[in-house]
Amino acid sequence: MVSKHEAAEAVREAKVRTGITWAQLAEAVGKPLAWTTAALLGQHPMEKDDATTAAALLELGDDVAMAFQLQPSRGALESAVPVDPTIYRLYEVVQVYGPTIKELIHEQCGDGIMSAINFRLDVRRVPDPAGDRVVITLDGKYLPYQW
Amino acid sequence: MVSKHEAAEAVREAKVRTGITWAQLAEAVGKPLAWTTAALLGQHPMEKDDATTAAALLELGDDVAMAFQLQPSRGALESAVPVDPTIYRLYEVVQVYGPTIKELIHEQCGDGIMSAINFRLDVRRVPDPAGDRVVITLDGKYLPYQW
Amino acid sequence: MVSKHEAAEAVREAKVRTGITWAQLAEAVGKPLAWTTAALLGQHPMEKDDATTAAALLELGDDVAMAFQLQPSRGALESAVPVDPTIYRLYEVVQVYGPTIKELIHEQCGDGIMSAINFRLDVRRVPDPAGDRVVITLDGKYLPYQW
Amino acid sequence: MVSKHEAAEAVREAKVRTGITWAQLAEAVGKPLAWTTAALLGQHPMEKDDATTAAALLELGDDVAMAFQLQPSRGALESAVPVDPTIYRLYEVVQVYGPTIKELIHEQCGDGIMSAINFRLDVRRVPDPAGDRVVITLDGKYLPYQW
Amino acid sequence: MVSKHEAAEAVREAKVRTGITWAQLAEAVGKPLAWTTAALLGQHPMEKDDATTAAALLELGDDVAMAFQLQPSRGALESAVPVDPTIYRLYEVVQVYGPTIKELIHEQCGDGIMSAINFRLDVRRVPDPAGDRVVITLDGKYLPYQW
Amino acid sequence: MVSKHEAAEAVREAKVRTGITWAQLAEAVGKPLAWTTAALLGQHPMEKDDATTAAALLELGDDVAMAFQLQPSRGALESAVPVDPTIYRLYEVVQVYGPTIKELIHEQCGDGIMSAINFRLDVRRVPDPAGDRVVITLDGKYLPYQW
Amino acid sequence: MVSKHEAAEAVREAKVRTGITWAQLAEAVGKPLAWTTAALLGQHPMEKDDATTAAALLELGDDVAMAFQLQPSRGALESAVPVDPTIYRLYEVVQVYGPTIKELIHEQCGDGIMSAINFRLDVRRVPDPAGDRVVITLDGKYLPYQW
Amino acid sequence: MVSKHEAAEAVREAKVRTGITWAQLAEAVGKPLAWTTAALLGQHPMEKDDATTAAALLELGDDVAMAFQLQPSRGALESAVPVDPTIYRLYEVVQVYGPTIKELIHEQCGDGIMSAINFRLDVRRVPDPAGDRVVITLDGKYLPYQW
Amino acid sequence: MVSKHEAAEAVREAKVRTGITWAQLAEAVGKPLAWTTAALLGQHPMEKDDATTAAALLELGDDVAMAFQLQPSRGALESAVPVDPTIYRLYEVVQVYGPTIKELIHEQCGDGIMSAINFRLDVRRVPDPAGDRVVITLDGKYLPYQW
Amino acid sequence: MVSKHEAAEAVREAKVRTGITWAQLAEAVGKPLAWTTAALLGQHPMEKDDATTAAALLELGDDVAMAFQLQPSRGALESAVPVDPTIYRLYEVVQVYGPTIKELIHEQCGDGIMSAINFRLDVRRVPDPAGDRVVITLDGKYLPYQW
């Protein structure tokens, strides 16, 4: 049997071999781009049909399609503080702006959090004459502390 | 002389005492909301006029206004992994979706990063019948690896 | 001004000095026992009336009553792994039974979590002929992963 | 020979393959649900008959049944602070409410601990019009410090 | 008010100043030597009479006597791995012989632990022609895993 | 060639397979119980005859017998703070009573340590009407600081 | 398929086997020396022609040439603080001179950073009568904090 | 007496108060810019005349001038991995390019290191039409491994 | 009362103020150089006469002399891995040559250790035409593992 | 191809199999004892003739002889703080005497370090009527801080 971690590795390899993009995979599966990417990287369980569709597109076997459907044990960083520069910048945002975001959530909503479970994510390239921009949208339900 | 860290503590206290909001501070200073909040929490240096305006509004002294203008040593988490739940959820997003974001930046832009320096941040409450949402926008310049 | 951490220390000291119990404090405030205890230990913000009531009972000043009302930065362990044996046993439960609880949540509810925000806690002594028992109830809303 | 860790992996895989639930396994073995789950995940030794019954139901071999009977080296987190969000919420409860629980044990019972050895655990889904809840009961013998 | 940690420091200082020994303190209090030492170092709460007796003998004030009676937050190492050589040797014993002790407890008693709560400790110097020995006895109730 | 770590694993497996106890192994080898257990777990080198005797009793091959004779690289905990509850209790004793033991060694012997090299260990079950006890004796030569 | 990490190992081995130098590889590829070395060690993706040229020179197969073209997950230290003395000296420079470099960047350029993305590196041996010197040039675009 | 750390803080404050630059300080002292900065930040001992000159320029007292002359205990990062973004980029360079630099030192010089003791550092802003650059030169004596 | 740590700081300051050297202190006390240095830095207890002599020479008070006589809690590094370069080189020796030293102790002496308790240390500058050398001699009693 | 780490393991095994000592290996190679041991444990590169001689004596193949010649990535501890007692004692010396050695280097030589690169090491058993001693000599070139 193939683990979700091994399935994620297989996906990365198959993408290089087949030239299929995340966007094509998301379109085939009919799910949002970031959700599909996260799912194929092992962070969400997929439904059977979606798993089969994605595996077929990537020319991967039934055992990988099965792994796509497993309940994940989430969390994907190789260490508490990520070392890859592209991912580190996200951690840096938490280091520098974490308390700012906390203050603004509390001022606008009250004593609570942005859910990371009832949550969606978008990553887009936005053209800009001064150099294109990466715009990441974190969109989670507000959950008030409630006893 | 007052350190930026002490000034940030003074700001938090003064906000409770005076009832001034981050939004009012940002409006008085004439800068974006999240930038102003981050600056008053010690993560950005302020120009003299802005520093004086904010200090006056918060009924804080000249030494605090001076601290607002100092070059910061950035980074505000109390430990490598934050423990406050509101801030932890941001770390959890990096843990669960970090590699997804990396893949999508590379697919859409190439081999590079979203800058955390040429960067702006927005935090908004968005009404939603199924429960209001917190929407955080991370908007940084795309920087390609370039030798 | 008094920080929430200093206020929590003041509460512990005042309880010894005055002999007031957590149960009496909770009754006076009219809130659940565990919530009141957590709030006075600095993990929840209190409303003005409740804060004043508790401070008066504990013979503490207005500055402490003010601290009770502040928005907390939550998290109270002195290190990532707690060393006090009474608290360590809770960590041991997570170490030994964490994956068991995860499996049972997924089997009974699906892919999601028990919220620690929409959450209540109860601690009770239960008489037992073979030795009384401590029964801790963690009761949080089920939050399904939802994009 | 199969280690308890490998046996736990085999159980997870066999559950997907056979569709057997933890509840069915517990019923077949005739032991409490959470105990059975923990035991099959390698945290408790099983008696021979129970081990054989569970292995048969999961269509696993004698070597796995033997592994179920071994004395475990307990502890199942992949790191000191768990990263999977479902398990992290339990750690967050210890971070936010650990000292509260300690205070209430001491107030209700005296100077001692809730045993994590003479201990039972229950996880239940409780219907609630405002959204179903996960209720986890930690029930351990009170052990007073005793020289 | 004096914390238990400050009280422990005061005890160490007072012992040097007055020349009183742990043995004399234990005799005056009428409790076992190791228990009395641990209690005065802040690891156990003392009863009022014992606290007063010890404080008087050490020429310490009422605030210290009060601190002796407080419920402790236990744990006294300055870091996860102790650096003082006298204490490190105990950690080394756990590193080298921990699994051995675990095996022998399981062989002689079954699946359980030696309690560190229902527990007593003795430290004695034992004359030996080849060089005197330090003999430390750890004596805890056997607690079987019991659901 | 078999490493000492692999040999220790082989011993644990062979004990289950053959039903041989640590006590029987110690008797066959003619060495103290705890020493024999530690040696077979890879923490001491054995002499050729003893290694051969133990391997034969456990029905293990010459390569394992050879491994028993190798010089060990000692230390057997899987992390700086052990997670298995049976072993953690020993660490907890060091956390709670380490400074107490240090004080008593210094009072009874002077400025020095209990050796963990010139050292013997005993683990015994002691019947007790209030519940049997585990008694662990740490017996090491006193080594004074000596320039 | 070969991972970038395995490809880097293959390069190190092939260099010993073939006697090819980093300088020869850089010349064949027509890219700067340090960039080529970093790329072949798995820290940059290579274009197809360059990858094929390098693999051919090193007598490595198509799968390695493919690995050279993959998007890397960057970061190459075996631990947060490097232990190899040649690499540790670079960390020591950051420890001793990091704040100095920060001050001088701020004094000469303003509030910003030296980019490590729009960045080039040079390592040269410089003859010196008092002993030759290693001169490392870090040359990155200045990025001002810009909202 | 003033510690070197306190003296460094005093320097940072005095620079803001007096408007003196690192360049002016270096010129007054007659030493290289980076050396002077590092020394005043507490990483090098200064000679008496230089210390007095710098203190006078900064309008600081004799006790600070004395601190400038003390032997330092070097190392200035607040944690093993720096969190300030300007300093973190230097750590990132070690993470991404450390092994590359090691390979090139070995290829050009043999088995040895770049000294961080017999070492000089330069930080310069270099104009560039595509955006000015920060050029940092690390220049250390090559030290071959030599028995 | 003065702690040993504060006394060590007072010694460092007094040495600068008085110009007294470690060698002069050792000669006055009549003890070996390294022992005296370590003792005054708080790593050994001193006898009353020696403590008084040293304090007088350094023009320090009776409270410091008293601190010199206290039993130390040993260990002086600011973090597990030292950051000061002069001390780090000693750690580097352990990293690079630790297993070598272990092998040679075992080959020459058997299964045991070099004591760090029955131990003396010497640090000398040795003239050498190719550059003077620092020669550090670690001289500890061989302690065989002995049950 | 064999890595230096695998070669070191092969050496340890071959020494047991052949009975060859480190002293015999050093004599055959004609290099100092400690250097030869460190080199064969993978911490130094060997010249071809020496590598071949050592491999032949140990009855190891050409691939191991090749590994002996590779440039090492140095550092051999399994964790930042070593757990094997023989090696830990060296770390303890750094913990207890590190600042002492630093002070004496500075007093005797000035502001600099003992090189761990231009460095030699000796380990000897020295007979002593009170028990033989292990004498370890660390002998490194003094390197003054020099800009």
pLDDT in tens, C73-110: 999 898 999 999 999 999 999 999 999 999 999 999 99
Mean pLDDT calculated for residue range G50-73: 97
Read off the amino acid at residue B42. Answer: G
- Chains A and C form CB pairs within 8 A to the count of 47
Distance of CA J61 to the CA centre of its chain: 23
Residue G40 is encoded by which pair of tokens? 């072949």
What is the band of H1 on the pLDDT scale with cuts at 50, 70, 90?
A: confident
Residue B18 is encoded by which pair of tokens? 């005076």
Residues in contact with D72: Cβ distance below 8 Å, sequence separation at least 6, in sequence order: D4, D42, D43, D44, D45
Mean pLDDT calculated for residue range C109-126: 98
Q: What percent of chain A has pLDDT over 90?
A: 97
pLDDT 10s digits, E30-45: 999 999 999 999 999 9
Mean pLDDT calculated for residue range D25-41: 98
DSSP letters, J40-75, are: HTTSS---HHHHHHHHHHTT--HHHHHHHHSPP---
* Active-site option among C13, C47, C92, C103: C92
Q: What is the ipTM of this complex?
A: 0.97
pLDDT 10s digits, I43-68: 999 999 999 999 999 999 999 999 99
Mean pLDDT calculated for residue range F73-96: 96
What pLDDT is stored for residue F40 in this prediction? 98
Residue D92 CA to residue D71 CA, distance in Å, equals 30
What pLDDT is stored for residue C1 in this prediction? 77
Query: Does residue I1 carry a pLDDT above 80?
Result: no
CA distance B85 to chain G (A): 26
pLDDT 10s digits, F114-130: 999 999 999 999 999 99
Q: Is H130 on the interface with I (CB under 8 A)?
A: no
Q: What percent of chain B has pLDDT over 70?
A: 100
Sort out which chain F residues have CB atoms less than 8 A from J95's CB and list them. none
Query: Does residue I24 carry a pLDDT above 90?
Result: yes
Are F107 and E21 in contact by the 8 Å Cβ rule? The answer is yes
DSSP letters, E33-75, are: HHHHHHHHTTSS---HHHHHHHHHHTT--HHHHHHHHSPP---
What pLDDT is stored for residue A10 in this prediction? 96
* Active-site option among G74, G115, G120, G133: G115
pLDDT 10s digits, J95-140: 999 999 999 999 999 999 999 999 999 999 999 999 999 999 999 9
Identify each DSSP E strand in chain H by its residue range.
Answer: 112-126, 133-144
Residue H75 CA to residue G96 CA, distance in Å, equals 5
What pLDDT is stored for residue F1 in this prediction? 78
DSSP letters, D24-60, are: HHHHHHTS-HHHHHHHHTTSS---HHHHHHHHHHTT-
Give the mutation candidate from A16, A91, A97 for the B interface (greatest B CB count, under 10 A): A97
Distance of CA I11 to the CA centre of its chain: 14
Domains and CATH numbers, chain J: 4-69 (1.10.260.40), 85-144 (3.30.1160.10)
pLDDT 10s digits, H104-126: 999 999 999 999 999 999 999 99
Binary contact (A117, C32; C-beta < 8 A): no
In this structure, what is the dihedral angle of CA atoms J87, J93, J95, J96, given to the nearest 10 degrees? 150
Residue J65 CA to residue J49 CA, distance in Å, equals 9
CA distance A81 to chain G (A): 9
Binary contact (B139, A133; C-beta < 8 A): yes
Query: Does residue C45 carry a pLDDT above 80?
Result: yes
Are F118 and F139 in contact by the 8 Å Cβ rule? The answer is no
What pLDDT is stored for residue D1 in this prediction? 78
Distance of CA G65 to the CA centre of its chain: 18
Sort out which chain C residues have CB atoms less than 8 A from E63's CB and list them. none
What is the band of H144 on the pLDDT scale with cuts at 50, 70, 90?
A: very high
Give the mutation candidate from C44, C100, C109 for the D interface (greatest D CB count, under 10 A): C100
Are C55 and C61 in contact by the 8 Å Cβ rule? The answer is yes
Average pLDDT score over chain I: 97
DSSP letters, C14-82, are: HHHHH---HHHHHHHHTS-HHHHHHHHTTSS---HHHHHHHHHHTT--HHHHHHHHSPP-----SSSS-
- D31, D106, D117 member nearest E143 (Cβ): D117
Q: What percent of chain F has pLDDT over 90?
A: 97
Residues in contact with G79: Cβ distance below 8 Å, sequence separation at least 6, in sequence order: J80
Mean pLDDT calculated for residue range B119-131: 97
Q: Which residues of H are catalytic?
A: 89, 92, 115
Binary contact (G37, H131; C-beta < 8 A): no
Cross-strand partners of A134: A125, B140
What pLDDT is stored for residue F26 in this prediction? 98
Binary contact (J16, F70; C-beta < 8 A): yes
Q: Is I120 on the interface with J (CB under 8 A)?
A: no
Are J126 and J135 in contact by the 8 Å Cβ rule? The answer is yes
- J85, J92, J95 member nearest E96 (Cβ): J85
pLDDT 10s digits, H61-97: 999 999 999 999 999 898 999 999 999 999 999 999 9
What is the band of E1 on the pLDDT scale with cuts at 50, 70, 90?
A: confident
Q: What percent of chain A has pLDDT over 70?
A: 100
Sort out which chain I residues have CB atoms less than 8 A from H74's CB and list them. 83-86
Nearest-by-CA chain I residue for E80: I80
Q: Is B70 on the interface with H (CB under 8 A)?
A: yes
Binary contact (G79, J77; C-beta < 8 A): no
Q: Is F90 on the interface with C (CB under 8 A)?
A: no
Q: Is G70 on the interface with B (CB under 8 A)?
A: no
Are D25 and D40 in contact by the 8 Å Cβ rule? The answer is yes
pLDDT 10s digits, G84-126: 999 999 999 999 999 999 999 999 999 999 999 999 999 999 9
Nearest-by-CA chain E residue for J85: E92
Q: What percent of chain B has pLDDT over 90?
A: 96
Q: How many residues does chain E have?
A: 147
Are F65 and F55 in contact by the 8 Å Cβ rule? The answer is yes
Look up tokens 């075996």; give the residue: G78
pLDDT 10s digits, A36-56: 999 999 999 999 999 999 999
Residue C125 CA to residue C133 CA, distance in Å, equals 6
What pLDDT is stored for residue A1 in this prediction? 78
Residue A122 is encoded by which pair of tokens? 């978008």
What pLDDT is stored for residue B74 in this prediction? 97
* Active-site option among J92, J103, J124, J133: J92
Cross-strand partners of I113: I143
